[in-house]
Copies of this chain bind each other. A is one copy, B any other.
Amino acid sequence: MNTDSYHSHHSPFGAFASFTIGLTDSQGGFGQALRGPAAQNVYIGYKQADQKAWQLLPYFQPSRSQEAAFTGVEGEATQARTMQALPADAFTRELGWCTDTWRANAGCFGFSLLTPVDRIADPTRLSKARERFHLAPIVCGWIEYDNRAGDGAVELVFGLGEPERPPRPLADSHPGLAGFATGTSYGYATRPAKGVSLRQGFDIFAPKFFDYRGLHVIGSESALVFTVPAGRRRRFPLVLGFYQPDQATTGMPTEYAFSRCFSGLEDALDHGLNHFSEYEKIALTRDRELARSGLDEHQRYLVAQSTHSYLGNTQLLRSGPEVVWVVNEGEYRMINTFDLTVDHLFYELAWHPWTVRNTLDLFVDRYAYTDRIKVGTRTVPGGLSFTHDMGVMNHFTPEGRSSYECDHLHGCFSHMTMEQLLNWVLTAVTYAEKTGDKTWLRRRKDVLIACAESMRRRDNPDPRKRDGILKQDSDRCGPDGSEITTYDSLDVSLGQARNNLYLAVKTLGAWILLERAFERLGLSDERTAARSASGLLASTLTTKFESDTGFFPAVFESGNRSRIIPAVEGFVYPLYLGITEALDFKGRFGPLLQQLNAHIKGVLKPGLCLDAKSGGWKMSSTSTNTWFSKIALSQYVVRQLFPEAMNAQARAADKVHADWQRHPGCGSQAMCDQILSDTGVTCGSRYYPRGVTSYLWLLE
């Protein structure tokens, strides 16, 4: 019995759009810039000649016909007799990296959606044809039936029901398209052909009213119906498209990049049908790559599902001649949240590294600031840092200001000055090292130098008092507030920035990368200073280790005894870049690595950082709120740098993590990041892109 029930994004690149389906007995469909799945009935299925009712994938809810609004008389509920949702044991679903395929009736029925991931060059350097190919705001798919053993015609259906916005037949604007569109925003099409027919009306499964062409365009249900004659096997292509022609964002006005190379929805749909096989080829190539990756089935599922949700949050914009890259933050829809950028980094460097540079540049050009820091009751000059995000819900906030950060707080919504400072350094050097883009690194030399100085001052403005660990808060917090980390909604073990283990090791990672960058730039003084800073910090950290317990405390204050997995997060950067000198247990960070090894071996046990009930990984021993994206990232570090820690229970959690996403507790909102480790139910960060840190697993 298949208990999987989860929504997946099916999304073009950079359109902040998704055709979301997959949760049993639930609506979904086309959505752009939404915080969760859309609410359309999606009708996908088949009817054999001798069947009275259509057999449909369970992606709809019973709906009342709009007919009564016209006739003044409540109509009968005919749908129950003419359509049936396939029960869970009557169909299979297989989510590949870039395909999502359903089968029923012993495999005779098939439906698939393709979301091809491809390497994409900077669009300002693409030919018009390649730009159209990569930026097309479409999702391809197909529907098929193998009726070779049948003795009657079989019908296939792909349709939508959305009472608020009845659709229009595409043939009215484009004779080469059979299908329907909703306004100018989205639609679906195939090619007009023998065996392809259209339906529109109040009830497409029991139509009562037919105009001159057999439709009833005041009805809010529409469908393509395909006929497969007895003895034949037929597969029909489908293209689902999105469009938006005008101003897409405010604060900093931009348009969707696709609107520069497509004239409208019809153009995009037509393009998709013309290039269907190229898109399909890419999707199948990716599927094969993941299948052969050596990851287990649960890991493969997590990579696939998170890639789908990442894509759904991507948004490529144009502002004049410039492109502006945005990844939206899932249900929160914050723009380029920097503590997500630093995690999407590894995926983006593989597929479209220019997006990383684009975001770094916008942080410098529009979202940098210089603060003062609080020392006792005074403030003194601080240094450069960056905002938490660039805005929210398609609105870019004013220069130097985020949408998230508020003053006078100690917890959620406070400032993340140190966190984002580190994120710029780590993202920038990782980008430059991985791509070899030394030109850009040189251009941003002054920013790197200013970042290093800012990091030092946040330790202590007085060089003599420094030990490498952040101890000051930005005056942006106000006299009565303190900085937090990206782990804002966990308990103090991860939420507080000052004297924080996670942030300290991340700072270490930043110094290691800065040393490398200054070396590339020939800045020997800065290089030496960076090396000395990392040495100092590592040395300080070793003093924090509790030799009695064998653990690090999460916070070096107030007798904190929380145990956290992200103690090792900061090592992902030297690991990813292959800076082996920093990873050597016998090298200069050897003592610290030994302690971290003991720590991580110790925490990966039930009741500490493995949930005693579910077995899933917990970021902190003192919080049940755990984050999948960070689990995935730390697994990459632990498996490679601290392999002894991967005991059988820690390894067995892959299935737990996948089950969380495969079941409605998370699956109702596609990929979710914040999850209650005991129940597997999401408690935040729904419909979320960050799970794509699991891409790192493919590099192990």
Chain A residues within 8 Å of B, Cβ to Cβ: 34-35, 68-73, 164-166, 168, 172-173, 181, 183-184, 209-212, 216-218, 245-247, 250-251, 331-334, 391-395, 397-398, 401, 403-409, 411-413, 476, 488-489, 625, 674, 683-684, 686
Q: List 21 A-B contacts (CB under 8 A).
A: A69-B331, A69-B332, A70-B332, A70-B413, A71-B411, A71-B488, A72-B625, A72-B674, A165-B393, A168-B393, A172-B395, A173-B251, A181-B250, A184-B246, A209-B406, A209-B413, A210-B408, A216-B413, A217-B392, A218-B332, A245-B247
Contacts of A408 in B (CB 8 A): 210
Asked whether, in the complex, the Cβ of A401 is within 8 Å of the Cβ of B212, the reply is yes
User: Which B residue's beta carbon lies closest to that of A414?
Assistant: B209
Nearest CB of chain B from residue A362's CB, rounded to whole Å: 17
- Assess whether B334 is in contact with A218, with CB atoms less than 8 Å apart: yes
Residues of B with C-beta under 8 A to A409: 209
A184 to B245, CA, bound (A): 13
Also in contact, A172 and B397, with CB within 8 A (given A71-B489, A683-B72):
yes
Q: Which residues of B contact A625 (CB under 8 A)?
A: 72
User: What's the Cα separation between A216 and B393 when bound, in Å?
Assistant: 13
User: Given A246-B184, A408-B210, do A172 and B398 touch, yes or no (CB 8 Å)?
Assistant: yes
Further contacts, 9 of them, CB under 8 A, given A168-B393, A184-B250, A212-B476: A69-B332, A72-B489, A166-B393, A168-B251, A172-B251, A183-B393, A183-B395, A209-B409, A245-B246
Residues in B with CB closer than 8 Å to A247 are: 184, 245
Q: Which residue of B172, B210, B406 is within 8 Å of A406 (Cβ)?
A: B210
Q: Report if A183-B250 is in contact (Cβ < 8 Å); known contacts: A72-B625, A166-B392.
A: yes
Which of A250, A397, A686 has the most CB atoms of chain B within a 10 A radius of its CB?
Answer: A250
Contact status of A401 and B165, CB under 8 A, knowing A69-B331, A245-B246, A394-B183: no
Is B398's CB under 8 angstroms from A218's CB?
A: no
The 4 A-B residue pairs with the shortest CB-CB distance in the complex, in nearest-first order: A168-B395, A72-B489, A246-B246, A72-B683
* Residues on the B chain within 8 Å of A397, using CB: 172, 217
- In the complex, the count of this chain's copies comes to 2
Which of A210, A211, A331, A394 has the most chain B CB atoms inside 10 A of its CB? A211
Question: CA of A181 to CA of B394 in the docked complex: distance in angstroms?
Answer: 12
Check A405/B211 contact, CB under 8 A, given A217-B395, A412-B71. Answer: yes
The listed residue (B164, B181, B391, B412) touching A70 by CB distance below 8 A is: B412
Interfacial chain B residues near A683, Cβ < 8 Å? 72-73
Q: How far is the CA of A397 from the CA of B394 in the complex (A)?
A: 33
In the bound complex, residues from chain B placing their C-beta under 8 Å from that of A331 are 69
Question: A686 to chain B: closest CB distance in Å?
Answer: 8
Residues of B within 8 A of A34 (CB): 164
Residues of B within 8 Å of A35, CB to CB, are 164
CB A440 to nearest CB in B, in angstroms, measures 30
Q: How far is the CA of A694 from the CA of B397 in the complex (A)?
A: 49
Task: With both chains docked as a complex, state the minimum distance between the C-beta of A40 and any C-beta of chain B, in angstroms.
Answer: 15
Give Cα A493–Cα B398 distance, bound, in whole angstroms: 65
Contacts of A216 on B, CB cut-off 8 Å?
Answer: 406, 413
Q: How far is the CB of A411 from the nearest CB of chain B, in Å?
A: 8
Report B-chain residues with C-beta under 8 Å of the C-beta of A69: 331-332, 684, 686
Contacts of A394 in B (CB 8 A): 183
A172 in contact with B70 (CB, 8 Å) = no
Instruction: Say yes or no: B489 contacts A403, CB within 8 Å.
Output: no
Contacts of A334 in B (CB 8 A): 218
B residues near A217, Cβ cutoff 8 Å? 391-392, 395, 397, 403
Determine how close the nearest CB of chain B comes to the CB of A252; give it in whole angstroms.
10
Please determine whether B71 and A684 come into contact, CB atoms closer than 8 angstroms: yes
Q: Is the CB of B489 within 8 A of A250?
A: no
Query: Which B residue's beta carbon lies closest to that of A69?
Result: B684
Contacts of A218 in B (CB 8 A): 332, 334, 392, 403-404
Contacts of A488 in B (CB 8 A): 70-71
In this complex, what residue of B is CB-closest to A398? B172
- Pairwise interchain contact A407-B211, C-beta atoms closer than 8 A: yes
**Which residues does chain B contribute within 8 Å of A333, judged by CB atoms?**
166
Are A406 and B211 in contact, with the CB atoms below 8 A? yes
User: How far is it, in angstroms, between the C-alpha of A333 and the C-alpha of B167 when the chains are bound?
Assistant: 12
Considering the complex, give the chain B residue whose CB is closest to the CB of A407: B210
Given contacts A172-B250, A413-B216, whether A211 and B166 have CB atoms under 8 Å apart is: no
A251, B180: Cα distance in complex, Å: 12
Bound-complex Cα distance A333 to B69 (A): 12
Among B72, B403, B407, B411, which residue has its beta carbon within 8 angstroms of that of A684? B72
Q: How far is the CA of A218 from the CA of B412 in the complex (A)?
A: 13
Q: Which residue of B lies closest to A265 (CB)?
A: B250
In angstroms, how far is the closest chain B Cβ from the Cβ of A451? Answer: 22
Q: Which residue of B lies closest to A476 (CB)?
A: B212
Complex: A334 Cα to B408 Cα, angstroms: 54
A522 CA / B8 CA spacing, docked (Å): 71
Q: In this complex, what residue of B is CB-closest to A624?
A: B72
Instruction: Report the minimal beta-carbon distance from A450 to chain B, rounded to whole angstroms.
Output: 22
Q: How far is the CA of A35 from the CA of B407 in the complex (A)?
A: 42
CB proximity of A675 to chain B, nearest CB, Å: 10
- Bound state CA distance, A246 and B184, in angstroms? 10
Closest to A412 in B: B71
Q: How far is the CB of A665 from chain B (nearest CB, A)?
A: 14
- Chain B: minimal CB distance from A350 (Å): 30
Complex CA gap A216/B217 in Å reads 44
State the CA gap A216–B684 with chains docked (Å): 19
- Per the bound structure, the CA–CA distance linking A392 and B168 in Å amounts to 9
Closest chain B residue, CB of each to CB of A675: B72
CA distance A453 to B412 in the complex (A): 77
**How far is it, in angstroms, between the C-alpha of A97 and the C-alpha of B407 when the chains are bound?**
48
Bound complex: CA of A228 vs CA of B111, how far in Å? Answer: 63
State how many angstroms separate the Cβ of A215 from the closest Cβ of chain B. Answer: 9
Cα distance A181–B246 when bound, in Å?
17
Residue ID in chain B nearest A201 by CB atoms = B406
